[in-house]
Structure formats: C-alpha cells, structure tokens
Structure 1
C-alpha cells in the first residue's frame, strides 16, 4: 500500500455551511501530488449572501460565482475526483459539514466518504504553538502559500499528511491514523424527517 489520498478544502460565502463558493482538490499518490482541481460554486439562493468578512478572507465575490455551477451540478465531479480515496481536510469537521449541508440544501445524496482531519494529525506530529494551517504546513516543510485559496489550502493539507506519514514511517493513511491514535471517520447521511 502507499500514501494515497485526496485533500479537499472549501471556502464559503457566509457562516452557513451550505454556502460553498469554492473547492480545491489535490490527489496524492505515493505521497506526491499528481493532480489538482479547483472551481467556483454558486451558493444556494437561500444562503447565497456574501458577507464582507468572508469576502475579505478569500476574495471571492458574488459576481465571480454568478455563472458558476450550483452544488448539485458539480457534485458528480467532486465525487469522481475523490473516488475511493480517504478525503483529508484541515479541520475536517468544517469541510465535511459543508458537504452535508450543501447536499441537504440541494436535496442531493451525501457522498459516502472516509475522511481524516489533518489538524488532528498535526497535533500528533508537530510541537508547534498552534496547529492552524499555515503553521502546520510550515512544520511540514511546505513554503508560503495563499491561505484561504481553496486549492492552495488543499495542497498545504496534503503536505502535512505526506510529511506525517514519512515522519511516522507509515505506508498509507490508515496505518498513519492507527499509529498516531486518530480516527478515520465516515461521512454519513443524516436521515430527513418527513
């Protein structure tokens, strides 16, 4: 087995998790990035307001997503990119919350994903004052990057997992999680009450 996974990062228009406005995806094989993808997403009308705070963080405006695909229109591409990989995200509860909320809002099936949080991996790997993405990525040897750009954040997350696997001398993400005592979670559908 080898260190294969897909790193993912979302940016949102506001504080509602269904307001995804950008995604970055990085496919890793044998610990190295082999493919990248990113695109803008048009948030649902019900949660489509772009808050100035969010725009200041990621620089994405309503005008930039006006012609972007809505969640349901890009979901197949998102699922296909991840495939059977373990999805990895920095503060994965946020990114998996985006997937669940956006699917619920679009009345679309939630992808069956296994996922790992790189914040948890960072805490078990690096002795640093904070495990925020820029500091954890720096500890992994990943240089300066455009934080809050979805693709750049996914690449930084990928660097943390690949570096941690090397440091802990593990051959895949499942072995890494087991060795350092963190869980690989499963994204599950929330039953809808009718």
Structure 2
C-alpha cells in the first residue's frame, strides 16, 4: 500500500465549529498530489455571523458565501472526495470538530472516517520550536503558500505527511503511523441531546 490519503482543511466564519465557510481537499496517491478541490460553504443561520477577525485571516465574507451550498448540501461532495481514504489535517481535532459539529447542527450523519494529525507527525519528524503549519511545511520543503486558504493549507499538510514518510523511510501511511507512534483516530458523532 503506497502513501495514499486525502488532506483536508476548513476555514470558519466565527469561533463556532459549525460555521465552516470554506473547505480545501487534496488527494495524494503514491506520495504525489493528484487532485485538488475546494469550495465555499454557507454557514447555518444560527452560527452564520462573520467575525471580522476571521474575515481578516481568511478573506471570506458573508457576501461571498450567499449562493454557496450549506453544510447538508455539500456533505455528499465531501464524502465522495474523501472516499475510504485516511483524512489528514494539521491540528486535526479542529477540522474533525468542524465536521462533527456541523453535522450535529444540521442533523446530518457524521461521515465514518479515520484521520491523522500532521502536527503530531511533524513533532515526531522535525526538531522545530513550533509546529505551526507554515513552519512545519517549510521543514518539509514546502515553500511559501497562502496560509488560511483552505486548499493551500490542505496541500501544506499533505506535504508534511509526504515528506515525513520519506524521512522515516515509510512506504505507506500505516508504516509511518507505526514508525512515529502517532495515533490514527476515528471520527465519532457527538451524541444529540434530546
């Protein structure tokens, strides 16, 4: 099994995890990026306000997402792109929290997926003062990129895992996980309070 996975990154409109306003996805096959996808998402009305701080960081405004699909409408496309791949994200607890919370908010099923955090992989691979995405990506040999653009962040996260596999001599993701001692997690639904 070669180094195959899909990297994912979300941007949010505000501090509520269900306020996803953008997603970036990068498919990796045999250690190479083979496909990219990204789209805007209209956050749910209950959490649809755009915090000026968030807008300043990612540049996405309420007007930009007006005609975009909401979480429930875009979830099928997200599932289709991920397929059966292990999902990789930098600070994966944030991105998986977006999926869980947005599904709970819209009463849609949480996709069953396994995921890996590229921050944890970076910590086991590079000696850095901080494993923030720009620094870890630079250590992986990935040049400057548009940080906080969901697609660019997903690709930077992918670069970290691809380079880490090479660094450790891992022929596939399961071997990299074993060699680094990082944990492969499973996304679980948040129980709904009735």
Q: Which runs of 5+ in 1 are unaligned?
A: none
| Contact 2:9-2:150 within 8 A present in 1 as well | yes
DSSP 3-state at the match of 2:144? coil
TM-score for the superposition, normalised by structure 2: 0.99
Distance 1:172 1:79 in 2: 22
Deviation, 1:175, is 1.2
RMSD: 0.6
Q: How does 1:11-160 map to 2 (within 5 A)?
A: 11-160=11-160
Distance 1:112 1:74 in 2: 16
2:6 is matched with which residue? 6
Deviation, 1:193, is 2.9
2:190 is matched with which residue? 190
DSSP 3-state at the match of 1:69? coil
Deviation >4 Å, runs of 4+: none
| Contact 2:42-2:70 within 8 A present in 1 as well | yes
DSSP 3-state at the match of 1:68? coil
| Contact 2:101-2:190 within 8 A present in 1 as well | no
Distance 2:80 2:171 in 1: 24
TM-score for the superposition, normalised by structure 1: 0.99
1:173 is matched with which residue? 173
Distance 2:33 2:138 in 1: 17
Deviation, 1:190, is 2.2
Distance 1:27 1:58 in 2: 22
Cα deviation 1:2-60 (Å, max 9, x = unaligned)? 00000000000000000000000000000000000000000000000000000000000
Aligned length: 194
